[in-house]
Amino acid sequence: MIECCYIKDIIRGFASLLVGMRVTMQNMLSRPHTVQWPREEAPLPPRFRGHITVLPDEMTRYPKCFACGTCARNCPSGCITVSGKKPAGARKKVANSFFLDFTRCSLCGICVESCPVGALDFSRHYALADFDGRKFQEMDLLQDLVSPF
Amino acid sequence: MQGSNRLEKALAEAGIEYRPTEFPNTGLHCSLSLGPDLVRPLATALRSNGFFIETVTAVDLLQENRFEGIYLFNHYDDPLRLLVRVPVERSRPVLPSIGGIFPGAVWHERETAEMFGITFQDCPDSRNLLLPEDADYHPLRKDFTGRS
Amino acid sequence: MSITPLHLLIYLAGISALVGLNAVILVWLERKVAGHMQFRYGPMEVGPHGLLQTLADGIKLVSKQLLVPNQADKPLFLMAPIVSLVPIFVAMMPLPLGETVQAWELNIGLLLIIALGLLNTLGILLAGWGSNNKYALLGGSRAVAQILAYKIPLLLCILTIIMMAGSFSLRDIALAQEDGWYVLYQPLLFIIYIVAITLETNRSPFDFSEAESELVAGFHTEYSGMGFSLFFLAEYSYMFIASALASILFLGGWQGPLLPGPVWSLIKLYAIIFLLMWFRWTFPRLRIDQMLSFGWKILLPVTLLNFLVTAGVLAL
Amino acid sequence: MSMAAPLTYTLEKRDNDNFTLNLGPQHPGTHGVLRVVLQMDGEYILHADPVLGYGHRMQEKIAENMTYLQCLPYVCRMDYLGAMSYNLAWVCAVERLCGFEVPERAEHIRVIATELNRMASHLLWWGAYLLDLGAFTPFLQAFTDREQILDILEYLTGSRLTYCYFRFGGLPDEVDDVFLERTMSFVNGFRKRLKNYHDLVTGNVIFHHRSKDVGVILPFDAAAYGLTGPILRGSGFAYDVRKQEPYAAYERFDFIVPTETSGDCLARYNVRMEEFVQSMNIIEQAVNTIPEGPVRSKVPKTIKPPRGEVAMAVETPRGELVIYIVSDGSKKPYRVKFRVPSFANLSVFARLARGQLLADALAILGSLDMVIPEVDR
C-alpha cells in the first residue's frame, strides 16, 4: 500500500504542477494589464485628490477665500498659512496670501470640507516633480488668480 | 448569558465581585478597579477560563498624580471585554507583570514600561521595545513635551 | 583531429561571442517571459520591445565599481566569478550544434562537459566563502549540499542514454537518434533530466543558493558590477549548455526536417530554456531538505530502476 | 513519502558553531523594516528575537495632541493596507463616544468599502506570502485584481491607499450608482478568477510541502499571545469581531467565519482564501439591500465628546483592532490606545521560529501577514 500511495502522490503532485503551468501560460497569452505611462494615461477618477487650489469667485474673479483660517486650524499637519485684508470699498476680506506646505500635506481633504464658502478644491495635477524642494514647501496657491490688491 | 457566567466564574476564582457595565455604549462588558496584588490571581483565573490578552497599557492622570495601569482581556467564544484598572502612585510606579501567565503580555508590558516609565515587577524581558535601547524619556507621560 | 593554437583562438572567439550573445538574448527573454506571465510587458524602452535593454544593463554593470567587502578573502572573492565562467569556454567546445558546427569533436565530450559543469558549484562555494557574509555562506553551503542529490540521478540519466547510443561522443549520440528521438523511448527520463538540469542551473523552484526571500541574494549578495555580471553570464551559459545537452541527448540534436541543422538545434535548445523559465515563473521554491529528499527518495530510485530496466531490455 | 523537516531539533545543543544572523532591517523577506536577531546553528534557528521600532512614530502621542477630526488621516497611516478598517474604527469609536447616529445607507457603503479593502489586503498578502515561498508570478497576479479594487476605491474616495474617507456621522458625500455597479462587476469577475488563484497555488504540491505542518500555532498558545484574525481562525477559534460584536451594519449580513483546525501556514492560507468568498458575499448582500436616504447625519462641527472612556473593536484584515479612548471632555482625546493586531500576532513569531529552518521561519513570517508600520505605530 505504501508503494501505491508513493506513486499516486508523485503523479498527483506532477499533475498539480501542470495545472499551475497552465495558468501562467494563460497569463502569458492574455493581454498585459500595464498602462505604459507616459505613453498611455490612466483615467483620473472624479474625486481625485491632488494638492489643494483656491477657487476664484465667479463674479469678481478674485479669490473666493476670505481668509477665515478654518482650514489652517483644522489641518492636521499645519501646512496652510493664509492671510487676507479688505480691498478698498469691500465689506469682506479677501485672501492676499495663501501658502501650502505640500511636503507635509497628507491630502486628507479636511481643509476642503471645512471651508465655509467652498473656496478650496483639489487640483488634478499629479505629476509633480522639481529639482527645488522649496517650491513645494511654499506653494503659492494665489498665483494664477486675479488679485484685488 | 453564558459569557458573563464565564467571567463571573473567573472573577469568583480570584475573589472579585462581578459588576457589568453598559456594554454597547462603552464597548466594555466589565470594568474593574483593583489593587496591584489582585492582578496576578485574576490573570491566572482568566487564563484557565480561556480568556485572551488584548493589551496592557496605562493612562497618565497627571492632575490626580497617579497612573492607571490598564489590562484588557477578552474571550474568543463570547464577546466579553474586561478592563482591569490598577491605580499606582506616580512617584513609585510599579505594576505586577502577567508575562509569566500570558506570554503575549510581555511585549505590551515592555511598551508600557518604556512609554510611561512604569516598572513591571518580574517581567521576563525589560528591554525597550519600540524606543531606542538607550532612551531614558517616557513619551506618553503627560509632562513629556518632546522639548528638552 | 588535432587542435592548433590558431584553431583554438578562433573557437574561443566564436564561443565568447556565443556566450555573450546568448546571455543578452536570454536575459531579455527571461524578462519578457516573466513580464508576460505576470500581465506585464517587461522591458519596452531601450530598442524595439526592449531588445537592447540587456546591453544597456551590461554597460552599466561593467562600468560599476567592483566592491570588495571589508575582511573578505580577496583572492577567493575575485576568483569566484572567474572560476564559474571559464569552464564554460571549454565545455562548449564539444557541443555539436549542427552536423558540421562543432568546435572540437571529442570522443569523451560528454564526460568533459559533466566534469566541467561541477566547477560552477565550486565557483558558488568560493563566492559564498570569500565574501565574508553569512547569507552568502549559507548560499554557498546549500549549493554544495544539493550537488550529490541531483548529480547522481543526472549521471544515471546520461548513462542510460550512453548505453542506448553506445558512445560518449555527443555527435554519435545525436546521430544514433536518426530514426527515433530518445525522448520517445524514455519520456520519464527526459522529465527527470529536465528536473535535474533545473537543479544544476540553480533555477527556481530549486534556486536555493540564491533564494531571494531567504538569503537576500545568496552567494552573490556582495558582488557588484563586473563580478555580478560574470555570475550572470555563467548562469545563463550553463543554462545554454544544459539545454543543448538535453536537446542532443533526447531530441536528436540538430536533426529535423526542412530547416538547416543549427537552426533546429537552437529551436530545441531555446524551447527547453523556455521550459525552464516557465518553471521559474510558476512554482514556489522547495525547501532545501525537501529537495534533498526529493533527489534521494524519488529521482535516484526512479533513474536507477529505469537504468536497470533499459539495460535489461537492451540485453535481450 | 514524507518531506517534512525533522520536527524536533535538539535546542539544547551548545557548541561554538552557532552564529548570529541579523535578518533585516533591510531584507526582502521581512516586508518592511523589521529586524529579527536569529541565533542559528547552520540553517536551524535556535532563538529568534524580533527587534521593533524602526518605523515608530508615536501615533498615540500624536493623537493626544490633535482634535478628533485631525486625527482621522493619521490613523490610516498605521496599517496602510487595511486603511479603511482603521478609518472605520476611529470613526466608530468617536461616534460611540459621542453617541452619534449613522444613516443606514452610509453604514452599507462603509461595509462595502471596508470589505473591498479587506480583499485588497488579502490579495497583497497572498502575493507576498507566495513571494516569500519563492514564487514570483502570484505577486503580480494578485496585483492585477488588487489594482481593480484600488481603482474602485479611488473612484469612491479619491485616494488609493490611505483613504481617510469616512466621517463622523456618515460619509463626506453622496455615493453614485457607478460605484455600486463597478463593485458588483468586480465581484462577479473575481469569483471566476479566484479559480485561477487556486489552480496556480492552492493545489500545487510544492506549496503544500512548504506550508503544511509549518509554524503550527496551538490553540493554547493563541490565547496566551492574544492572537486574532485569520491567524487565530486557522487554529480553530471562530472569533471574528464582525460576528461577535457587530459594528457598522455587519449584523444585517449573512456570512460565515471560516475556520481551520490544523493551525499551520496552510490553515491560515485556507482561511484567508475562504475570506475572499465571504467578503464577496457580504458585498453582494450590502449592494443588493442598500437603502436610499441621506449618507450623513447631523453632527456638530466641533467634536467635543463627554467625559468617559470607550473601547471600539474592529476586525481589520489582520485581526482585532481595539481603539481605546479616554476623553476628558475637551476637543482633544486625553489618551488613545491602539491595540493593533499585528503587534500581538508578531509576538508569537519568536515561539514559532524556534527550531525551524530559516526558509520555514520566513514562510511563517509571511503567513502571519505583518504590516510593520502597524506594529511600530
Task: Tell me the C-alpha distance between B5 and B47, whole Å.
Answer: 15
Stretch D285-301: mean pLDDT: 86
**Helical spans, DSSP H, in chain A:** 2-29, 70-74, 110-114, 134-137
Tell me the per-residue pLDDT of B101-121, one tens digit each, with 9 for 90 and over: 888 888 888 888 888 888 888
> Are B106 and B130 within 8 A, CB to CB?
no
Nearest to A21 among C36, C282, C298 (CB): C282
**CATH (domain of A105):** 3.30.70.3270
Q: Which CATH number fits the domain that encloses residue B67?
A: 3.30.460
Clarify whether residues A102 and A61 are in a common domain.
yes
Give the mutation candidate from A4, A14, A47, A51 for the D interface (greatest D CB count, under 10 A): A47
Share of chain D above pLDDT 90, in %: 9
Provide the whole-model pTM.
0.88
Structural domain contains residue B145:
no
- Range of the structural domain that residue C175 is part of: 66-315
- Phi and psi based region of residue D60 (left: phi greater than 0; alpha: psi -120 to 50; beta: remaining): alpha
D98, D244, D328, D345: best to mutate for the B interface, most B CBs within 10 A: D244
3-state SS class at D36: strand
Tell me if C27 is assigned to some domain: no
Does A16 fall in a domain? Answer: yes
Could A34 and C283 be called an inter-chain contact, meaning their C-beta atoms sit closer than 8 Å?
A: no
pLDDT digits (tens, 9 = 90+) for D71-104: 888 888 888 888 899 989 999 888 888 888 888 8
- B115 domain-assigned: no
Kindly report whether the peptide bond that precedes residue A38 is cis, defined as omega within 30 degrees of 0.
Answer: yes
Please report how the helices C261-280 and C225-250 are oriented relative to each other, as an axis angle in degrees rounded to 10: 120
Q: Do D268 and D231 form a contact (C-beta atoms < 8 A)?
A: yes
The whole-angstrom separation of Cα D119 and Cα D336 is 28
How many distinct structural domains can be found in chain B? Answer: 1
| Chain C residues closer than 8 Å to D215 by CB | none
* Residue D329: C-alpha distances to residues B67, D68, D97, D299, D326 (Å): 19, 12, 10, 16, 9
pLDDT for D189-202, tens place per residue?
999 888 888 888 88
Residues of B in contact with D226 (CB under 8 A): 52-55, 102, 104-105
Compute the average pLDDT of residues C269-294.
Answer: 87
Among D220, D54, A13, CA closest to C195: A13
Answer yes or no: is A104 within a domain.
Answer: yes
Q: Is residue B137 one of the residues assigned to a domain?
A: no
B105 touches chain D (CB under 8 A): yes
The pLDDT mean for chain D works out to 85
With respect to residue A14, please indicate whether it lies within any of the assigned structural domains: yes
Residue of B nearest to D229 (CA): B76
CB B26 to CB D310 under 8 A? yes
Give the contacts of B2 (CB within 8 A, at least 6 positions apart).
B78
> Considering its fold, how many domains does chain A have in total?
2
Residue ranges of the alpha helices (H) in chain D? 59-64, 72-75, 83-98, 104-132, 137-157, 177-197, 205-211, 219-225, 230-233, 241-244, 265-288, 341-347, 349-353, 358-368, 372-376
Would an 8 Å CB–CB cutoff place A2 in contact with chain C? no
Flag whether pLDDT at B3 surpasses 60.
no
In a domain, A147, yes or no: no
In chain D, what residues touch B72 (CB-CB under 8 Å)? 311, 322, 324, 339
Position D37 pLDDT exceeds 70: yes
The stretch D259-266 carries a mean pLDDT of: 88
Residues A22 and A75 in one domain: no
Q: Which 8-state DSSP code applies to residue D198? A: I
Q: In terms of residues, how long is chain B?
A: 148
Separation in Å, CA of B148 to nearest CA in chain D: 16
Smallest Cα–Cα separation from D245: which of D315, D298, D299?
Answer: D315
Residue D3 has pLDDT above 50, yes or no: no
Under 8 Å between Cβ of D210 and C286: yes
What b/e string do you get for C64-77 counting C-beta neighbours within 10 Å, with b at 16 or more?
eeeebbeebbeebb
Q: How many CB pairs under 8 A join C and D?
A: 90
CA C239 and chain centroid, separation: 3
What is the extent of the structural domain holding B58? 2-91
How many domains does the structure of chain C reveal? 1
Grid cell digits, residue A10: 508523485
Q: Looking at the domain that runs over D59-376, which CATH code has it been given? A: 1.10.645.10
Q: Rg for chain B (alpha carbons), in Å? A: 16
Mutation site, C138, C195, C213, C289, interface D, largest D CB count within 10 A: C213
Backbone phi, then psi, for A81, in 5-degree steps? -125, 125
Neighbours of chain D (3+ CB pairs under 8 A): A, B, C
Nearest to D222 by CA among D260, D174, D192: D260
D28: nearest Cα among D128, D124, D158, D117: D128
Indicate the residue type of D221: D
Q: Is the dihedral of CA D357, D360, D361, D362 positive or negative?
A: positive
Question: What are the chain D neighbours of A17 within 8 Å (beta carbons)?
Answer: 204-206
C-alpha dihedral (C244, C245, C246, C248), degrees to nearest 10: 90
Please answer yes or no on whether D134 and C213 come within 8 Å at the CB atom: yes
Is A17 within 8 Å of D205 (Cβ atoms)? yes
Contact criterion met (CB < 8 Å) for B76 and D320: no
Mean pLDDT to the nearest integer, D298-315: 85
State the residue range of the domain holding A8. Answer: 1-30
- pLDDT, tens digit, for every residue of A1-53? 456 677 788 888 888 888 888 888 888 888 888 888 888 888 888 888 888 88
User: Does C92 map to a domain?
Assistant: yes
